[in-house]
Amino acid sequence: MIKVDLERLISEKKALIGVIGLGYVGLPLIVEFALKGFNTVGFEVDETKAAEINAGRSYIVDVTADDVAKCVSGSKLTATTDFTRLNECDAIIICVPTPLRKTKDPDMSYILKAGGEIQKFMRSGQLVILESTTYPGTTDEVLLPMFEKQGFKLDEDFLLAFSPERVDPGNPQFQTHNIPKVVGGVSADSTDVAAMLYGQIVGQVFPVTSARVAEAAKLWENTFRAINIGMANEMAKLCNALGIDTWEVVSAAATKPFGFMPFFPGPGIGGHCIPLDPHYLSWKARQHGFDSQFISLAEQVNSNMPAYVVELASTALNDARKAVNGSKILILGVAYKKDIDDMRESPALSIIDLLRADGADVFYHDPFVPQVTFDHAYTIGDGEPLYNKELTDELISGSDCVIICTEHSPVDYGRVCELASLIVDTRNALSAETRNGSKAKIVRL
Distance CA(404)–CA(101), nearest Å, equals 30
Contacts 24+ apart (CB under 8 A), 203-206: 203/177, 203/178, 204/180, 205/180, 205/181, 206/180, 206/181, 206/182
Measured in whole angstroms, the distance separating CA 28 from the mean position of its chain's CA atoms is 14
The full DSSP string for 343-366 is -TT-HHHHHHHHHHHTT-EEEEE-
Distance CA(57)–CA(51), nearest Å, equals 9
The SS3 call for residue 154 is: strand
Listed in sequence order, the DSSP H helices in 23-177 are 26-35, 47-54, 65-73, 109-121, 138, 144-148
| Cβ contacts of 259 within 8 Å, gap of 6 or more | none
In Å, what is the CA distance from 422 to each residue of 149, 300, 312, 329, 425? Answer: 63, 28, 11, 10, 10
Bridge partners of 129, per DSSP, are 93, 161
Say what angle helices 293-303 and 305-319 make with each other, to 10 degrees: 30
Distance CA(110)–CA(45), nearest Å, equals 11
Q: List the one residue out of 200, 194, 20, 188 whose CA is nearest residue 115.
A: 20
Asked about 239 being catalytic, the answer comes back as: no
The answer to whether 215 touches 223, Cβ cutoff 8 Å, is no
The SS3 call for residue 329 is: strand
Which listed residue (89, 95, 239, 273) is catalytic?
273
Distance CA(397)–CA(94), nearest Å, equals 49
The answer to whether 332 touches 406, Cβ cutoff 8 Å, is yes
In Å, what is the CA distance from 231 to each residue of 29, 85, 253, 256? Answer: 33, 48, 14, 18
Distance CA(96)–CA(112), nearest Å, equals 10
Active site members:
273
